């Protein structure tokens, strides 16, 4: 090498060393504002989050956009720089899988190779809200399945990207020019329900879950029959397995598919108005279990509130992380009907999580944070408060043990609710393990004396032993039974000694609450109840792709609220005073505080509103919440171990269901 060449090489190396690497974005409680993603739609949810080829890949979705949208495919680098991929076509995708034979990540309509090259199946060739992928039944090395939220099914060659329609969707009528399918399906789905979620294959079947119903009643009554779990054997149409709302479908193989598809189990999770439903398929046969709900915020016969509950491998040996109805769950990796022990709650959350994964020794949750559309969220307590100017969401990075450290787990659920029960026929198994406080309420129709028998599966192997018999007289229709901590076992079930026209068995659980009563440092900046004056602000998310937050300062006293200066907050948390007086006027106009919702008397603070509008059941029409000293005392009473001072009370006399 000549001296001049050597000098050039050294100069090039020094230049490379001198180029500063991008600064790591700022972070608050696991949120990096600069990683936020936006679209121009009514919602911007996170459809999938998957590590691949030394990057984290993320897709977003808008609501009901089967022919594409302004949503993007994002590539996140190890130093947390966000790259918007130019191949993006949007839509409403939430599917993802890893195809081992071709070494590709399938995420939305994109197929990504080991060198991060992105190929795409345009929405014109494969229209639909893509919800799940599964390995092919007969040619898994070269083909995969795509399912849509309207129960459509495609077969795709992962080498050539050739698309073949197998089952046509039940809705979505394209306008001229929106589609150009080469080999469209000729039969239309007959599967009950819609709003498809999980897809998986094994034991000679493709299993599809959906969790919704298309009817006006589904928007008002969460107790109606809704959703469906279906199977496809490679020919013809879907076959209905069970008429309930289901979400995740997966197995021990996770995103790559089961290692032994003929023998490995398939899991699915769903719910009805009674409780969460967990099912496992082995040798073509399904076994059902029930779990408590941590929150009813995810209910709804329409299915819109759950988004995508998942069961995923996060690197914990022998275990998976499951999200469902407001609880993080520990889910055993070997779960089966003969080894069903190990399902336990970890902690509670109130957030819409679309997908999650482990990346760089942290957990990453893709969330559905801020939607411009209000959907069904119109209520007196919200008043005329405006929605955000633009839909947006973000990733939430946490420590690996975060699912164990959020809210104390609570759970409630039933195996029977005011329904006919045959003598001697046991209920589905209901989860018993994982909670410190446990009780069950038994109820019969009063037609005759009734004896309930409670049985325990002590090891999760399907072997049942009687734990307690509870005899009720004809005029003694209800009894509350506490379950001592000494009663061990993963599952409990009930049966009655006679045919009962209307029987109910409802469980109430709570984990140990280790929170302290002293004011934590996290809340140091918040005003105390007795403060005579407080500094606050009215907040309004701006639109027009400005990606900033309007902040209207205010001084608050018990008698009045005094408006101050207007500011703009950017993603890097720079607060800039606004000179334009119209900014303050706009924020004030769109953030009025509803009046008459919160009042107080000597006993308590009262929150009162109409719970729904129009033809809703009378028992749901008005809710009233009080927080009184008596209720706080009852929380610790043996007769009501889970009572809280904020329990809603319906003001009508209709019995709840």
Which residues have C-beta within 8 Å of that of residue 164, sequence separation ≥ 6? 154, 155, 156, 183
Q: How many domains does the chain contain in total? A: 4
Examine the fold and report which residue of 476, 510, 544 is the final residue of a domain before the chain moves on.
Answer: 510
> Do 323 and 277 sit in the same domain of this protein?
yes
Residues near 173 by beta carbon (within 8 Å), at least 6 away in sequence:
none
Which residue has 């005392």 as its token pair?
633
pLDDT number for residue 478: 97
Q: How many C-beta neighbours within 10 Å does residue 576 have?
A: 12
Do 477 and 608 fall within a single domain? no
Domain boundary among 404, 438, 470: 404
pLDDT confidence of residue 605: 87
Are residues 553 and 570 both part of a single domain?
A: yes
The answer to whether 203 touches 267, Cβ cutoff 8 Å, is no
In this predicted structure, what is the pLDDT of residue 401? 97
The pLDDT value given to residue 600: 86
- The residue among 535, 537, 538 whose CA lies nearest residue 590 is 538
* Same domain for 614 and 586: no
Whether 327 and 453 map to the same domain: the answer is no
Burial pattern 213-225, b for ≥16 Cβ within 10 A else e, equals: beeeebbbbbeee
User: 263 near 252, Cβ under 8 Å?
Assistant: no
* Domain identity same for 501 and 540: no
Q: Rounded to whole angstroms, how far apart are CA atoms 228 and 270? A: 10
Residues 541 and 570 sit within 8 Å (Cβ to Cβ): no
- What is the pTM for the complete model shown? 0.89
Is 85 inside any structural domain? yes
- Parallel, antiparallel, or unpaired for β 410-421 and 437-443? unpaired
Q: Residue 181 belongs to what domain range?
A: 39-404
Indicate whether 49 belongs to any domain.
yes
CB count, 10 Å around CB of 153?
29
Give the model's pLDDT for residue 564. 94
Indicate whether 120 and 256 sit together in one domain. Answer: yes
pLDDT of res. 641: 37
In this structure, the answer to whether residues 169 and 279 fall within a common structural domain is: yes
d(CA 167, CA 146): 11
Cβ count near 626 (within 10 Å): 18
pLDDT score at 610: 63
Asked whether residue 524 is assigned to any structural domain, the reply reads no
* Predicted pLDDT at 229: 98
The 8-class DSSP code of residue 310 comes to -
**pLDDT for residue 607:** 85
Compute mean pLDDT per 10 residues along the chain, 657 residues long, and list them. Answer: 41 42 83 96 97 98 97 98 98 98 98 98 98 98 98 98 97 92 97 97 98 94 97 98 98 98 98 98 98 95 93 98 98 98 96 96 96 85 90 97 96 98 98 98 98 98 98 97 97 98 98 88 86 93 93 93 94 91 92 88 83 41 45 36 37 27
Residue 199 DSSP one-character state: E
Residue 618: what pLDDT? 36
Q: Kindly state the DSSP code that residue 404 receives in the 8-state scheme.
A: G
Q: Cβ(147)–Cβ(132) under 8 Å? A: yes
- Euclidean distance between CA atoms 358 and 81, whole angstroms: 18
End position of a domain, from candidates 354, 378, 404: 404
Could you tell me if 82 and 195 lie in one domain?
A: yes
């Amino acid at each position: 090498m000549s001296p001049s060449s050597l000098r050039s090489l050294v100069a090039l190396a020094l230049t490379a060393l001198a180029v500063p690497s991008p600064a790591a974005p700022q972070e608050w409680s696991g949120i990096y504002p600069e990683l936020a993603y936006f679209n121009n739609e009514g919602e911007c949810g996170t459809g999938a989050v998957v590590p691949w080829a030394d990057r984290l890949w993320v897709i977003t979705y808008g609501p009901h956009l089967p022919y594409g949208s302004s949503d993007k495919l994002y590539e996140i680098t190890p130093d947390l720089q966000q790259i918007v991929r130019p191949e993006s076509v949007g839509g409403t995708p939430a599917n993802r899988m890893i195809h081992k034979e071709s070494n590709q990540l399938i995420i939305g309509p994109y197929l990504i190779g080991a060198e991060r090259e992105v190929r795409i199946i345009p929405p014109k060739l494969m229209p639909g809200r893509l919800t799940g992928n599964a390995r092919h039944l007969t040619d898994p090395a070269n083909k995969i399945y795509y399912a849509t939220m309207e129960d459509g099914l495609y077969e795709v060659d992962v080498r050539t990207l050739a698309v073949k329609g197998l089952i046509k969707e039940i809705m979505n009528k394209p306008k001229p020019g929106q589609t150009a399918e080469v080999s469209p399906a000729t039969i239309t789905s007959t599967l009950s329900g819609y709003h498809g979620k999980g897809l998986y294959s094994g034991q000679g079947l493709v299993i599809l879950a959906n969790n919704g119903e298309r009817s006006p009643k589904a928007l008002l009554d969460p107790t109606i029959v809704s959703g469906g779990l279906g199977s496809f054997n490679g020919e013809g149409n879907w076959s209905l397995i069970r008429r309930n709302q289901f979400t995740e479908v997966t197995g021990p193989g996770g995103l790559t598919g089961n290692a032994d598809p003929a023998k490995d189990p398939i899991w699915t999770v769903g719910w009805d108005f009674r409780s969460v439903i967990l099912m496992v398929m082995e040798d073509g046969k399904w076994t059902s279990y029930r779990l408590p709900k941590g929150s009813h915020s995810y209910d709804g016969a329409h299915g819109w509130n759950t988004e995508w509950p998942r069961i995923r491998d996060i690197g914990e040996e022998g275990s998976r992380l499951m999200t469902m109805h407001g609880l993080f769950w520990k889910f055993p990796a070997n779960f089966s009907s003969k080894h069903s022990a190990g399902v336990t709650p970890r902690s509670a959350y109130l957030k819409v999580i679309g997908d999650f994964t482990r990346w760089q020794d942290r957990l990453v949750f893709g969330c559905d944070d801020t939607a411009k559309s209000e959907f069904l969220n119109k209520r007196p307590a919200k008043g005329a408060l405006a929605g955000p100017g633009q839909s947006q969401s973000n990733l939430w990075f946490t420590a690996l043990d975060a699912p164990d450290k959020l809210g104390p787990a609570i759970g409630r659920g039933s195996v029977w609710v005011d329904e006919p029960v045959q003598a001697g026929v046991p209920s589905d198994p209901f989860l018993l393990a994982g909670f410190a406080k446990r009780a069950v309420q038994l109820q019969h129709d009063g037609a005759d004396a009734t004896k309930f028998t409670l049985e325990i599966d002590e090891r999760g192997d399907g072997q049942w032993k009687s734990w307690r018999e509870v005899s009720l007289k004809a005029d003694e229709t209800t009894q509350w039974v506490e379950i001592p901590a000494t009663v061990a076992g993963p599952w409990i079930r009930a049966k009655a000694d006679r045919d009962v026209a209307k029987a109910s068995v409802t469980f109430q659980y709570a984990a140990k609450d280790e929170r302290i009563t002293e004011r934590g440092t996290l809340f140091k900046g918040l005003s105390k109840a007795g403060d005579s004056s407080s500094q606050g602000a009215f907040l309004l998310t701006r639109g027009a792709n400005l990606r900033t937050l309007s902040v209207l300062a205010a001084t608050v006293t018990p008698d009045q609220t005094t408006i101050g200066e207007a500011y703009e907050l950017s993603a890097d948390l720079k607060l800039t005073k606004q000179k334009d007086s119209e900014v303050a006027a706009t924020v004030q106009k769109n953030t009025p505080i509803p009046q008459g919702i919160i009042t107080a008397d000597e006993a308590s603070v009262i929150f009162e509103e109409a719970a729904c509008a129009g033809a809703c059941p009378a028992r749901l029409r008005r809710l009233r919440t009080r927080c009184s000293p008596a209720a706080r005392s009852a929380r610790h009473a043996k007769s009501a171990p889970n009572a809280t001072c904020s329990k809603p009370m319906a003001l009508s006399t209709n019995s709840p269901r």
